[in-house]
């Protein structure tokens, strides 16, 4: 079965590679089935996806490269989530199990067994010591992650689709088929209260950082914002054409994103309930969406077997584009010590204006060029007030500090060169390569 799944995954990659014409985004493609779940690591450098092909895949966010395939479930993977600092993770599956993974060794730490039906969701506490899982057996189980031990089982009155800890507290919210959101204390198992308002089943839950707000998504096509302390509905959000499957607060909890059957990511103003923007991200169902901790990027997980990265401020799709093999790639033949570092730049930038356009602006005559001045490229808002020139000093600072620090709000993913000597070598090579006066081909 696993051999067949791997062949399907390879076949899926082959389809994307062989049928592409012109510039094609290198999305997170590698699963052999629809992608059901996605999460971004706390540092924004890794993406975790889970698929109907029974596997989870760990990706490098920066260059959309597959790091590892986590292949230990015997059924479709229904949810994925990073735990703590992102060195561990949880996956759940139709095979009735939860797996707690060590992402350094890429092996399971514990297989958490106890559910009697498919497990749809798992969430870890803020300190990473506990996890809660929910399944279609109408049970929520509370686990000691270090020991891999079941601490408590809560019986719910309906199949469970989503569970989440409320902020840094020991309280959890549980949502399921019966349209009801229930709040429990995980120390005592005590039922604290419930909230009702959705017309159909709950599909996703997200807590604000302080645990005072709860966001829910539903089959009824709406989202709701709740006060989980006083068990009251605060606001209803409407804007999707069809079922909503996933929703998350963004940094600061003033905005949120959601996704669903209409293939659209919607960004919301939490305070007013108004739609800020909609991004048509896939042509079919988006089963899940996740956001980076800084609120700059979102990753959508589609029924089309791909996950895609989006810059929320501009609505642009972010990713390294497939290299046009008929175009010159002089860095591959160069013995300059900076050439190997340039490979990452080449994923998103053409070094000549007349070459295949990529997701970032071309680099021709970069040194001495005013920031944000390539006319045919649509820049993020970070460049609207940029009033500086790219030179050895500014480019060094960009990669030394990191784009997210040097130009807050930029579409450029976090890319740092921590070794000053290496960075100077990169700048030296970059200056020669991108100058029209140079002899580089």
**Would you kindly state where each structural domain of the chain is located, as residue ranges?**
2-318, 330-434
Neighbouring CB atoms inside 10 A of 332's CB total: 11
Would you say domain 2-318 falls under CATH 3.90.650.10?
Answer: no
Of the pLDDT bands very low, low, confident and very high (cuts 50, 70, 90), residue 222 is very high
Q: Report whether pLDDT(214) > 90.
A: yes
Nearest-angstrom CA–CA distance, 259 and 10: 27
Distance (Å) of CA 373 to CA 285, 316, 362: 37, 18, 11
Q: pLDDT for 226-282, tens place per residue?
A: 999 999 999 999 999 999 999 999 999 999 999 999 999 999 999 999 999 999 999
User: pLDDT: is 438 or 360 the higher one?
Assistant: 360
Give me 130's structure tokens. Answer: 């506990």
| Structural domain 330-434, CATH architecture | Orthogonal Bundle (1.10)
Q: Which of 317, 360, 293, 290 is nearest to 25 (CA)?
A: 317
pLDDT digits over 318-342, tens only? 865 555 557 888 888 899 988 888 8
Q: What is the mean pLDDT of residues 85-109?
A: 97
> What's the pLDDT tens digit per position in 395-433?
888 888 888 788 877 777 667 788 889 889 998 999 899
Which residues on neighbouring strands pair with residue 185, listed in sequence order?
171
| Residue 131 in tokens | 């996890």
- pLDDT, position 55: 96
DSSP 396: H
* HEC sequence for 178-205: CCEEEEEECCCCCEEEEEECCCCCEEEE
Q: At what angle do helices 420-434 and 339-348 cross, to 10 degrees?
A: 60
Better-scored residue on pLDDT, 223 or 349: 223
Task: Specify which residues 58 forms β-bridges with.
Answer: 48, 68
Q: What percent of the chain has pLDDT over 70?
A: 90
pLDDT at 9: 37
Tokens of 220: 């009824």
- Phi/psi of residue 423, nearest 5 degrees: -65, -40
Which of 273, 270, 269, 298 shows the shortest CA–CA distance to 286? 298
Please state the rounded mean pLDDT for residues 10-20: 32
> Which bin fits 337, alpha (ψ -120 to 50), beta or left (φ > 0)?
alpha
* Three-state SS at 8: helix
- Give how far Cα 425 sits from Cα of 333, 430, 433, Å: 16, 8, 12
Residue 223 confidence (pLDDT): 98
As a whole number of angstroms, the distance between CA 145 and CA 200 comes to 33
**What pLDDT was estimated at residue 231?**
97
Given a cut of 60, whether residue 58 has pLDDT beyond it is: yes
């Amino acid at each position: 079965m696993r051999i067949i799944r791997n062949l399907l995954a390879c076949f899926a990659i082959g389809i994307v590679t062989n049928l592409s014409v012109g510039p094609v985004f290198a999305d997170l493609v590698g699963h052999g089935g629809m992608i059901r779940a996605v999460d971004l690591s706390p540092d924004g450098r890794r993406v975790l996806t889970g698929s109907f092909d029974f596997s989870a895949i760990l990706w490098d966010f920066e260059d959309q490269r597959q790091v590892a395939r986590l292949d230990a479930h015997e059924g479709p993977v229904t949810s994925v989530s990073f735990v703590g600092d992102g060195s561990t993770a949880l996956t759940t599956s139709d095979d009735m199990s939860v797996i707690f993974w060590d992402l350094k060794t890429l092996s399971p730490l514990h297989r958490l067994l106890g559910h009697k039906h498919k497990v749809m969701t798992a969430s870890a506490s803020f300190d990473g010591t506990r996890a809660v899982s929910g399944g279609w057996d109408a049970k929520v189980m509370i686990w000691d992650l270090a020991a891999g031990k079941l601490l408590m089982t809560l019986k719910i009155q309906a199949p469970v689709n989503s569970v989440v800890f409320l902020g840094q507290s020991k309280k959890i919210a549980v949502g399921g088929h019966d349209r009801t959101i229930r709040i429990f204390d995980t120390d005592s198992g005590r039922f604290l209260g419930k909230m009702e308002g959705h017309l159909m089943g709950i599909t996703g839950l997200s807590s604000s950082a302080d645990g005072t707000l709860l966001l829910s998504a539903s089959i009824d096509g709406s989202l709701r914002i709740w006060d989980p302390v006083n068990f009251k509905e605060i606001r209803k959000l409407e804007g999707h054409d069809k079922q909503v499957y996933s929703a998350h607060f963004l940094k600061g909890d003033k905005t949120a994103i959601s996704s669903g059957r209409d293939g659209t990511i919607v960004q919301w103003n939490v305070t007013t309930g108004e739609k800020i923007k909609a991004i048509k991200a896939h042509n079919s169902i988006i089963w899940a969406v996740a956001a980076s901790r800084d609120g700059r990027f979102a990753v959508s997980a589609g029924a089309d077997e791909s996950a895609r990265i989006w810059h929320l401020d501009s609505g642009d799709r972010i990713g390294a584009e497939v290299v046009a093999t008929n175009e010159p790639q002089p860095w591959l033949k160069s013995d300059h010590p900076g050439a190997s570092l340039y490979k990452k730049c080449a994923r998103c930038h053409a070094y000549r204006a007349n070459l295949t356009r990529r997701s970032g602006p071309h680099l021709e005559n970069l040194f001495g060029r005013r920031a944000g001045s390539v006319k045919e490229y649509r820049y993020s808002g970070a460049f609207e007030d940029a009033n500086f020139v790219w030179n050895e000093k500014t480019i060094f600072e960009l990669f030394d500090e990191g784009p997210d620090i040097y130009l807050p709000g930029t579409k450029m993913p976090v890319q740092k060169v921590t070794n000053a000597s290496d960075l100077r070598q990169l700048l030296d090579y970059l200056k020669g390569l991108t100058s029209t006066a140079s002899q580089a081909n």
